[in-house]
Structure 1
């Protein structure tokens, strides 16, 4: 993770990720400029604290979409003349100019996402994705609110500080990246897309559910995601959500969380000598081991470390 404290804005300006531009100071500098950047491979989170009131004239780099979210000074911040509040986010597309006006020193967060990942997400959610997000800069009032995204980003920064090896294990980093994208697009999806709507054309719900459950039952060695179920069944994510909620009373995401708990439990109970909880969990996409341990204990009544010790201390037959 990049952590930068600058006495002047020039170094701060050069370190910004996913955009390119120039600051113009609107007020006397009042504090240091601070920047943290967490790179998850195709998705990067920046948390910035500016030292003065500014106008930033920028352009999104060709390979990245950007989400912009003020943390402080919402009512004193505007993008392209659009004033913010606590439910408002800015969306910047590659290659388009934008102007951020902060009348006083502000703190903010941005998430830079590669075009490849955004387009892949859009394809998987084509029946609810707003195509205008791919065409122009927007300032959007989110019906969902920004609290969940802000909390997730704080968890990611904390994990990077305390246990970076857990966060950046291949499967764990992929899971963190997916979770962050889901949180971003939860802010951007139109309100009507969250309603249970009848999909276009005929969909054999029983067949889709059967194929999804067969895939889940057959995979016990790697993480599974809702996107994998969509690929296996040919159903969109919204259709899959409707089917799972209608037939099982639970979303695909929640069902997969339970599946992950069970396969990790089995892996811990069968662990060979020298295995660790961290290694097992990382293989299944766990990036926040402390949070997962609490979920595991709620589900099985013991901590993962206790389950592993029981397996390693089991006498050979």
Structure 2
């Protein structure tokens, strides 16, 4: 994590990620300027706390799309000429000018996403993605409650600060990145679009389940299922809910829990829970341990201890 506490706005301004612009102070400085950045291999989560009322004018960097979400002083913040509230979210495209006017010192969060990742997400969600948002800045009413997005962002901030070794391994970063982008776009895009009529639903579902069966101990994500089935997440979501009674996200979560339990029960003598979980993209161990106990009636550490007791030779007990 990059953590920055500045006495004035110049250093703060230079450290901003995914944008390039200038601040003008519109009130006297009242506090330090603070910036926290969590980088997830092509996605950057940024929390800012400004020290004064400001006007910011800038452009998105060529390689990034951004969302902007105030966390305080909503009523004092104007983005693109529109006064914000707790339901509005800002979207900025690469190289397009935008203006943010905050009459009071405010706190905010942004998510900067590489063009490559955004275009890949759009392709995987082609039957629900509005391609027009790729070409213009906008301020829109969030399509769902923003609390889960903010809660996830704060969890990532906490884990990155307290246990960065859990988050910054490839599988964990990819899992966190996918979870964050899903909430960003589900906040931006309508959730009630009419589904298209796709042939071969049973075949699509069979391919998804065959992939899960063929890779029982691999960390799989929605993008893997979409690619293997040559379909969108919306189609998979509809099929899993219709035929299996749960969303593919929940099914993947249960698949991962069972895979981790198998790995724990077959662990080598020197393997730790952290090493095992890292292979499956676990980045929030507290939440994972709670889910594990909910499904299996014991903590992962208890499963590992039981495995080692059973593995001990009788004459060593």
**Correspondence for 2:34:** 34
How far residue 316 of structure 1 moved from its aligned partner, in angstroms, is 5.6
- Residues of 2 paired with 1:315 and 1:171: CA distance? 29
- After the TM superposition, which residues 144-159 of structure 1 pair with which residues of structure 2 at under 5 Å, given as runs? 144-159=144-159
**Correspondence for 2:115:** 115
**Correspondence for 2:171:** 171
Deviation by residue 1:248-269 (Cα, 9 ceiling, x = unmatched): 1111111111110101000000
2:227 pairs with 1:231:
yes
Alignment check: 8 A CA contact 1:30 1:51 kept: yes
How far residue 191 of structure 1 moved from its aligned partner, in angstroms, is 3.7
Deviation by residue 1:80-108 (Cα, 9 ceiling, x = unmatched): 10111101010000000100000111111
How far residue 75 of structure 1 moved from its aligned partner, in angstroms, is 1.1
2:244 pairs with 1:284:
no
Alignment check: 8 A CA contact 2:208 2:228 kept: yes
- Residues of 2 paired with 1:232 and 1:132: CA distance? 27
**Correspondence for 1:246:** 242
- Residues of 1 paired with 2:43 and 2:289: CA distance? 26
Alignment check: 8 A CA contact 2:124 2:231 kept: no
2:211 to 199, 211, 215: 215
Unaligned runs of 5+ in 1: none
- After the TM superposition, which residues 97-112 of structure 1 pair with which residues of structure 2 at under 5 Å, given as runs? 97-112=97-112
Secondary structure in 2 aligned to 1:72? coil
1:203 to 192, 199, 202: 199
How many aligned residue pairs are there? Answer: 313
2:306 pairs with 1:310:
yes
Secondary structure in 1 aligned to 2:36? strand
Deviation by residue 1:201-225 (Cα, 9 ceiling, x = unmatched): x421211111111111111232111
Deviation by residue 1:18-68 (Cα, 9 ceiling, x = unmatched): 000000011111111111111111001111111111100110000000000
How far residue 315 of structure 1 moved from its aligned partner, in angstroms, is 3.2
Root-mean-square deviation (CA), in Å?
Answer: 1.1
- Residues of 2 paired with 1:84 and 1:113: CA distance? 22
Deviates more, 1:228-237 or 1:260-269: 228-237
How far residue 167 of structure 1 moved from its aligned partner, in angstroms, is 0.6
How far residue 283 of structure 1 moved from its aligned partner, in angstroms, is 0.4
Alignment check: 8 A CA contact 2:30 2:51 kept: yes
- Residues of 2 paired with 1:14 and 1:96: CA distance? 19
TM-score (norm. length: structure 2): 0.96
- Residues of 1 paired with 2:237 and 2:115: CA distance? 25
- Residues of 2 paired with 1:106 and 1:54: CA distance? 9
Runs of 4+ more than 2 Å apart: none
- Residues of 1 paired with 2:277 and 2:283: CA distance? 8
**Correspondence for 1:46:** 46
TM-score (norm. length: structure 1): 0.96
Alignment check: 8 A CA contact 2:166 2:283 kept: yes
Secondary structure in 1 aligned to 2:310? coil
Unaligned runs of 5+ in 2: none
Secondary structure in 2 aligned to 1:192? coil
Alignment check: 8 A CA contact 1:272 1:312 kept: no
CA 1:315 to 1:45, structure 2 compared with 1: closer, same or farther past 3 Å?
closer
How far residue 146 of structure 1 moved from its aligned partner, in angstroms, is 1.2
Secondary structure in 2 aligned to 1:127? coil
- Residues of 1 paired with 2:295 and 2:275: CA distance? 20
- After the TM superposition, which residues 260-271 of structure 1 pair with which residues of structure 2 at under 5 Å, given as runs? 260-271=256-267
Alignment check: 8 A CA contact 2:130 2:189 kept: yes
**Correspondence for 2:127:** 127
**Correspondence for 1:301:** 297
